[in-house]
Chains A and B, each alone.
Chain A
């Protein structure tokens, strides 16, 4: 019984949150990696683009709520995602037309692209703050929990409970659906193959009649979908705050590089690697251990490897270690 309790403690406080957080990171990391693979630059506006898409979802959620639309037990935000994606793609295409396309045609070095994306980051951040303001917003409605700890305890008779928030379940399910559709698209369809060909060798792809404009357009469309969904899921799970989204860019970058930048599957797994590492290293194992050890051996300290203040630092340290030992990432991306 104690063993079961220990497992449940670990599952409730580490595995479930890490899966949800990892899914959110994974979507962002695939976004970074796609832009890197096809358009060939590190997009420093990642976090703010996700924030921009989420902003539309938040505004539309408030609008739908005022009209009385809703999905019952599911959050209204799910209904607004398609519209938010459309707006996001439109914004990305405008940015691409007026900013990035010029440098792409000129074949500028990646560093210049990165600096341009910093400019885009500033502009996007300004627009977000001017439109919706910098404050913290919650836009979750509908049922909050799928399983509550007390219900679980009553059901099973165990001393520890499992809490499953609806946002966590939605995050994991939606991520799996989106990511599987995307991988199917990239690997099985003709357009997806042409995108991969363009990413592998631009000149050969052009030679075989692939239209670069179309590839770029589709990349931005997929990027818009990933950015918006990733952003909305994060916002539903925690809350929507522009500043936090900017900061999230950093673990997302770490996930993309750890997975091997330019490799979408690597980025997907990289998201979970970072999330699990962050949570496992900063989790206090006292309760877990106390179930496993006999009573007189119970530990005094929290048994925490690092305090939760260092959550971000953990993911960055993993990045540094990966860069040192295996610079192309765990799942072989582009060689640096």
Chain B
């Protein structure tokens, strides 16, 4: 039990910090942070499976996150019937053309020996295919994008419940990982990092610019929610009663009836937003706990031991008859699918899909910092990393602002240095994260909660 002491201590400190935010800022902010911490935790579990279990460096996390987000739009939004009527046929034809290209290329690659002629044929098939695609798609895309462009202008989704999209997001990300893994997994570690980073960038730019798919940079807003809406809560009887019950002591202090009503209204508004966020917290917590149990079981199963063996010594594992390429591909798919799930959860939480916001800084590098800081190869560590780093990422700016004000309080309000520092307070988050990462890498490279190998 002694081994778990530092884990429990670290998590208690984290919960305590979030409660502090609740007391000093507001409970709504604290719950927002907690929800994002939980989403980050799912992402870090995914990244940790790849990096901690198998030693694969995947800088393409942004791409899978975006794809997970896209899944929410494709699944939960109501289909735009008119767009399907005017351009659906072209898009379907395009899908068939892509499938045909893939099959033809595969056929050529399998059937003929390696030669210059084969390479040129493959290249010309792909090039011809792209031109054919553009010719087929162009009128359809134009027609779709002109269907009520201010509100729709895209094909819409399938109109299914939003929770279903979490699974679809994971599946989409997993199948993308299959393709990328086939291309890139043979590369040396740092090449793999660069290749995945660039491929993720390609995916995001496709999502950003193909407006018929998910409105691109015009964003999709008002997505479905698996939780009640604030406005419904505020008008429902049982919720108002609940709020009154909770705050009865405070309300009893107010004498005049109109003041009392006003205070109650304010409380109901505050409580409704907290309630909605609590619903999300519950959902996310369930996901995190399920994932934690599954990954923890996997880590200490024969399969987990095999993965660690491959990570620590590929040649030896290969000599023992383990298929390294296959195992790497499998773990790459699993980890990416979990990241895709996190991407879907995040978009569901926000209620909007903004492809323009997917940037490698926030969605790849910060996640990596989380894994490294928390503890590679240890799921509890990775989740803690998600909590700690996200907390710092959000709270660094207010803390920096507080410190700047403290240290420059002797200077006049208009002092140029002080004004400049206060303006640049938001950027201290990069400094905190960067220095934190460097310090951890130097003095505790195994992370806050290091990997623990149980001898069986």
Contact = CB atoms under 8 A, between A and B. Distances in A.
A320 B431 contact: no
Contacts of A133: 423-424
A109 B312 CA distance: 13
Chain B: number of interface residues, binned into ranges: 35 or more
B307 interface: no
Interface in B172-217: 183-184, 186-191, 193-195, 197-199, 201-202, 205-206, 208-209
Contacts of B365: 44, 118, 121-122
B168 interface: no
B372 A115 contact: yes
B368 A129 contact: no
A55 B206 CA distance: 32
A236 interface: no
B438 A42 contact: no
B45 interface: no
A179 B198 CA distance: 27
A323 interface: yes
A309 B138 CA distance: 16
B146 to A, nearest CB: 17
B57 interface: yes
B201 A316 contact: yes
B430 A122 contact: yes
Given A115-B372, A130-B424, A310-B205, A120 B438 contact: yes
Contacts of B429: 126
Contacts of B119: 325
Contacts of A307: 209
A65 interface: no
Contact of A129 (B183, B191, B430): B430
Interface in B427-445: 427-431, 433-435, 437-438, 441-442, 445
Given A119-B441, A310-B209, A114 B434 contact: no
Contacts of B191: 42, 257, 261, 323, 327, 336
A83 interface: no
A270 B55 CA distance: 30
Contacts of B441: 112, 115-116, 119
A177 interface: no
Given A111-B189, A133-B424, A309-B208, A257 B430 contact: no
Interface in A278-314: 301, 305, 307, 309-310, 312-313
B198 A316 contact: yes
B361 interface: yes
A139 B445 CA distance: 42
A26 interface: no
Secondary structure class of chain A's binding surface, majority of residues: helix
B369 interface: yes
Nearest to B203: A313
B130 interface: yes
A325 B123 CA distance: 12
29 contacts: A41-B190, A99-B438, A111-B55, A111-B193, A112-B445, A113-B190, A115-B437, A118-B365, A119-B369, A120-B438, A121-B365, A122-B431, A123-B438, A125-B427, A125-B430, A126-B429, A126-B434, A134-B427, A253-B197, A257-B194, A309-B209, A310-B206, A310-B209, A312-B201, A313-B202, A313-B206, A327-B186, A327-B191, A336-B187
Given A121-B434, A327-B187, 18 more contacts: A41-B190, A42-B190, A113-B190, A114-B190, A116-B438, A119-B435, A121-B365, A126-B431, A129-B424, A134-B427, A254-B198, A257-B191, A313-B201, A313-B205, A316-B199, A317-B202, A320-B199, A336-B187
Interface of A: 41-42, 44, 99, 102, 109-116, 118-127, 129-130, 133-134, 246, 250, 253-254, 257, 261, 301, 305, 307, 309-310, 312-313, 316-317, 319-320, 323-325, 327, 336
